[in-house]
């Protein structure tokens, strides 16, 4: 199965995902958990991992998928106008890129919050999808509970800002 990035108008992602699902496509929107703080109030929330995109899981090769989706778009289903039409091909993740992203996302396609400790200036992730990625993390913002993890997507390195709470710092 290939994962294809479908660009949409911003803030139309959920609507587009539902239209695609109703039309028989296996569509999903990757999300991530984040803390949201306003004044003294802090809560866990979810936000879009890739704003302005919906992903489709499909067995077709890129040229066949492009033809299939463009033929569907030509039907002018209500709401499909929010999808950006690609004349050449829609970008699909390579096997390695898909494996990396799949490992970070859970079965609901959510990148969950990770928890870790710092010992002798070295991060140890105790829980969450960042386990095993400690050496790859470029930056940690402890007070904002964020970490920067570079990943290969779409043929380029993208810095994902992910949730990481450092519960203890020793040494």
Distance of CA 159 to the CA centre of its chain: 12
Q: Which domains does the chain have, with CATH numbers?
A: 1-112 (3.30.70), 113-171 (no CATH)
Using DSSP bridges, classify how beta strands 122-127 and 139-141 pair: parallel, antiparallel or unpaired: unpaired
Element (H, E) at 98: helix 95-104
Q: What tens digit of pLDDT does each residue of 90-136 get?
A: 999 999 999 999 999 999 999 999 999 999 999 999 999 999 999 99
Q: What pLDDT does residue 78 have?
A: 87
User: pTM of the entire structure?
Assistant: 0.90
Q: What tens digit of pLDDT does each residue of 8-56 get?
A: 999 999 999 999 999 999 999 999 999 888 888 989 999 999 999 999 9
Q: What tens digit of pLDDT does each residue of 55-91 get?
A: 999 999 999 999 999 999 999 888 899 999 998 899 9
The SS3 assignment for 37 reads strand
User: Measured between alpha carbons, how far is 3 from 94 in angstroms, rounded to an integer?
Assistant: 8
């Amino acid at each position: 199965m290939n994962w294809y990035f479908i660009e949409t108008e911003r803030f139309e992602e959920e609507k587009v995902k539902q239209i695609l699902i109703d039309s028989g496509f296996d569509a999903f929107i990757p999300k991530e958990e984040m803390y949201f703080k306003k004044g003294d109030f802090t809560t866990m929330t979810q936000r879009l991992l890739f704003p302005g995109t919906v992903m489709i899981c499909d067995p077709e090769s890129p040229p066949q998928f492009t033809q299939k989706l463009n033929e569907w778009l030509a039907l002018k289903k209500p709401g499909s106008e929010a999808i950006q039409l690609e004349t050449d091909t829609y970008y699909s993740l390579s096997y390695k890129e898909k494996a990396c992203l799949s490992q970070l996302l859970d079965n609901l396609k959510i990148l969950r919050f990770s928890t870790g400790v710092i010992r002798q200036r070295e991060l140890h992730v105790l829980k969450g999808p960042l386990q095993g990625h400690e050496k790859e993390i470029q930056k940690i913002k402890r007070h904002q509970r964020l970490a920067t993890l570079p990943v290969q997507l779409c043929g380029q390195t993208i810095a994902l800002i992910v949730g990481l709470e450092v519960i203890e710092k020793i040494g």
